[in-house]
Amino acid sequence: MPNASFNKFTSHQLLNELRVNHPDELVFYKEEEDEQKHRFWQRDALAIHLDSKNKAEQKLEYVHMNPLQERWNLAAQPEEYKWSSVRFYETGVDDVGFLTDYRERF
């Protein structure tokens, strides 16, 4: 499953980033039943095959706008949200160290 590979890869990247640069944040991702395990993704995530540039852009737009939703209210603008890839697409600077441009695949 492509989503399983993505989830595993990004989970390892996020865990390493938090251990090195934000160890106090790890507590928010710990599994209740096992203190050594951390969860970044829901188990029931629905995988969507991104087989077109249009579909990829639609999903990326959703992800970029999600922190602005009233339910979360994490930022006033997409580029203000710390974990957003908006800055990467605007400036080309990868603040997290593992982003790739989806446009290179289409």
- Alpha-carbon distance values, 43 to 2, 8, 29, 47 (Å): 14, 12, 14, 11
Does residue 99 come out as left (phi exceeding 0), alpha (psi in the -120 to 50 range) or beta? beta
Q: pLDDT tens across 56-89, in order? A: 999 999 999 999 999 999 999 999 998 899 999 9
Q: pLDDT tens across 21-41, in order? A: 999 988 888 876 666 788 888
The DSSP bridge partners found for residue 30 are 38
